[in-house]
Structure 1
Amino acid sequence: ILAAGYDAVTGVAIILVGAGVGVLGSTINPFATVIAANAAGIPFTDGIVLRFILLIGGLLICIAYVMRYAHRVKADPSRSVVSKQWAAHRKLFLQGHDEEIHSASLTTIQIISLIIFGLTFAVMIWGVSSQGWWMARMGALFFGAAIVIGLIARLGEKKLTGSFVDGARDLLGVALVVGLARGIVVIMEQGMIADTILHSAETSLGGLPELAFINLMFWIEVGMSFFVPSSSGLAVLSMPILAPLADFANVGRDLVVTAYQSANGLVNLINPTFAVVVGGLAIGRVSYDRWLAFIWPLLLILTVFITVVISVGTLL
């Protein structure tokens, strides 16, 4: 990304925004949509058309936003939100090889390595979705893939272990940040902050008309997502309480699920207690305030888009 003339924020945005919009408009996400639908007592396929609209529309909005920013930065690096770190980022990530990287082409070994890397993710998706894999098995999978790639690339024992240690060193700070973020979540959970919010939500949602109900529920889920960033955790916590209230407002429970996951995906683009955000920013060497400077207009656009979609869905 940097060798192509863009900045670190562009690289981080490709990952975080892409993942975020995938959650926001998820259709069959087993950790969000499926768990929430089960907790709400409905098939996860209910409301899938509306979620497809959210996914495609949100994806197009995010692609346009990130590409517009990237083109602007490439044309004028001073317009980057991390322009003051431009030289430092290039020195850190390119290590003086930017011209070589720019003119280089992929070798056969590099192509094979990329294929193995892609297959690793395919195996991970299969394992998580159908075999019950979680962190330990995923970690073992990536560790094994790294060894295989190192052997294929003929790095040698010294260079392979050295590269592994260098990578682990870069992630040490990320691990500390993630641990701190998780500590904040634990404090919130043990302090029953989420339970207090849910109780207030239950009393405030009763008797509201359809449009007011679904939009207020969306904002309640937005607030809850700051305290419970886990999509599955939030689903299990909020759906059994909020979904039955939809029956009294004549709102489909599938809309409640859609509002929940769109709120969670939106908030987790900036949530400082979400490991993916703090970890991604730490790896990309992008400070949180610079990320907010980049992302806040997109958040406003997505918020308007989501509220319009769920409101129209309520009226149909």
Structure 2
Amino acid sequence: MEGNKNLLKKSFARLDAYVLLFCILLVCAIATYFVPTGEFDRVKNGSVTVVVPGSYHAVESNPTGFIDFFTAIQTGMVKGAPIIFLVLFTGGALAVLDKTGALNAAILTLVRKLGNKEWLLIILITAVFSVLGTLGVIVNSVIAFVPLGIMIARAMKLDAIFGVALIYIGVYAGFNTSIAFPGTLGLSQQIAELPLFSGIGYRTIIYLSFVLVTILYIIRYARKLRKDPAQGILGDVPFPSDSGSAAGDLDSQVLFTLRHKLTLAFTGIVLIAFIACTILFKWDVNEMAGIFIFIAIGVGLINKMSGNDIAKTFLKGCQSLVYGALIVGMARSITVILEDGKFLDTIVYGLATILEPLSPMAGAVGMFLGSAGLHFLISSGSGEAVMLMPLLAPLSDLMNITRQVAVEALMLGEGVVNCINPTSGVLMSILAISGISYGKWLRFMLPLTAIWTVLSIVFIMIGVMINWGPY
């Protein structure tokens, strides 16, 4: 019996990401035949379409047919195209950059200078990316920076999980506790009729707490690997994918030349310019995909590569990330099935019905848990906000919960499960790029998710006790 359990665990750990998402897609399609269907009326509130509280009504069911099931995958690919091409073009640009040896040389030089102070590198990188995450500068585009984390992990002789965590969890520790991101926090506060980015003082405390425990968690894992590499979750294969470096292991004898410095200076200036334009002109995934084409051409010219060489290297890099790119569309197809099946509103209505008779403290925690559960079906933070916040705002008034607490319950609920959500195209793409199986990622991420959950509940309960305003 024990042998069968171990076999099941190993099978789950090795389960291909596409197989996992296909199974989830199949379950959702079957559910369209059994779950009652219903809809809320929706109205335009400025540029945002929101649900109308109290307008839920039954509608005719729309079960997923045989052909519909497979065309949903194609539709998901089309809707996920911006991120898919971002992933592909990231691979192309990094392949050109990697061929110059500039990243290799810079990372090794940095690691050598830090010596045994690797904890300082972890703090710096995680803190910087958390700031970019909490401000919403880098969210979906975090995919583009993960290969850099894997290269750092190679230079430090750790593993791919450490490299992914350094960048991805760094960004999402900030994004999950946003203090000034219009796309989720700003939208939720707008719907709840709260002043934009109000409550920033208490949110900053929440953000700093999340980032601190995240940094400590990553440092602890790095020290565990340093003490005994066999204790790593990836075991004897610390880098399942070669995506971190086209050349495999980094050459420890490489010199950091002037041309390397010019290459990285150009790349850094372009990326900083992109971040500035994100803030000033609301640039997003489409612009970043274009930026990576520009980086590839510029880096190639600086290093005197021919046009043909740049093109072939770029396309080879794109080819190496096809698996990771298309997983985004596969995840998006689940949303297509759920939307066409017309039962997401039924689930939201059921959640609101359960919460209404609860006490303020239990109700606020219930909002958090309900938001977390719903996020597995609605992997978009803004999508969940426009569906759930119009119901939570008046509900919080009835339950004597401030709307500020309701907004934070929604934010933290969808936030804490972001990094374990199998329907997240960003997560599944990152795992595909790094070669980490979903099962092994869960082994690493679940303890931190539990810590984030406890912190969230504590902060929400404090918010209820202090009657966190302004409303």
1:265-314 deviations in whole A, cap 9, x for unaligned?
21111111111101111111111111001111111111101110111111
Task: Give the structure 1 partner of residue 188 of structure 2.
Answer: 36
> Which of 187, 212, 217 is the aligned partner of 2:362?
212
Compute the displacement of 1:264 (Å): 1.6
Task: Give the structure 2 partner of residue 269 of structure 1.
Answer: 419
- Residues 91, 151 of structure 1: alpha-carbon distance in 2 compared, 3 angstrom cutoff: closer
> Quick one: percent identity of the two aligned structures?
33
Query: Counterparts of 1:1-316 in structure 2 under 5 Å?
Result: 1-86=153-238, 89=241, 93=245, 95-98=247-250, 100=251, 102-316=252-466
Conserved 8 A contact 2:243-2:433: no
Look up the equivalent residue of 1:286 and give its one-letter code: I
Compute the displacement of 1:48 (Å): 1.5
- Residues 88, 306 of structure 1: alpha-carbon distance in 2 compared, 3 angstrom cutoff: closer
Conserved 8 A contact 1:2-1:90: no
Q: RMSD of the TM alignment (CA)?
A: 2.0
Look up the equivalent residue of 2:201 and give its one-letter code: V
Compute the displacement of 1:130 (Å): 3.5
1:230-277 deviations in whole A, cap 9, x for unaligned?
111111111111112111122111111111111222111111111110
Conserved 8 A contact 1:120-1:142: no
Structure with higher Rg: it is 2
Conserved 8 A contact 2:239-2:435: no
Conserved 8 A contact 2:243-2:320: no
1:16-48 deviations in whole A, cap 9, x for unaligned?
211211111110112111111111111132222
Compute the displacement of 1:217 (Å): 0.1
Distance 2:257 2:396 in 1: 57
Look up the equivalent residue of 1:313 and give its one-letter code: G
Normalised by the length of structure 1, the TM-score is 0.92
Distance 2:404 2:271 in 1: 30
Normalised by the length of structure 2, the TM-score is 0.63
- Residues 174, 97 of structure 1: alpha-carbon distance in 2 compared, 3 angstrom cutoff: closer
Compute the displacement of 1:92 (Å): 7.5
Q: Which runs of 5+ in 2 are unaligned?
A: 1-152, 467-471
Q: Which runs of 5+ in 1 are unaligned?
A: none
Compute the displacement of 1:105 (Å): 4.3
Aligned-partner SS, 1:82: coil
Aligned-partner SS, 1:25: coil
- Residues 121, 43 of structure 1: alpha-carbon distance in 2 compared, 3 angstrom cutoff: farther
- Residues 122, 235 of structure 1: alpha-carbon distance in 2 compared, 3 angstrom cutoff: farther
Look up the equivalent residue of 2:419 and give its one-letter code: L
Distance 2:187 2:255 in 1: 44
- Residues 259, 92 of structure 1: alpha-carbon distance in 2 compared, 3 angstrom cutoff: closer
Conserved 8 A contact 1:2-1:94: no
Distance 2:333 2:169 in 1: 25
Look up the equivalent residue of 1:166 and give its one-letter code: K
Tell me which moved more, 161-170 or 87-96.
Answer: 87-96
Conserved 8 A contact 2:185-2:197: no
Distance 2:205 2:239 in 1: 41
Distance 1:88 1:282 in 2: 10
Look up the equivalent residue of 1:141 and give its one-letter code: I
- Residues 61, 137 of structure 1: alpha-carbon distance in 2 compared, 3 angstrom cutoff: same
Distance 1:91 1:171 in 2: 8
Q: What count of residue pairs does the alignment treat as equivalent?
A: 314
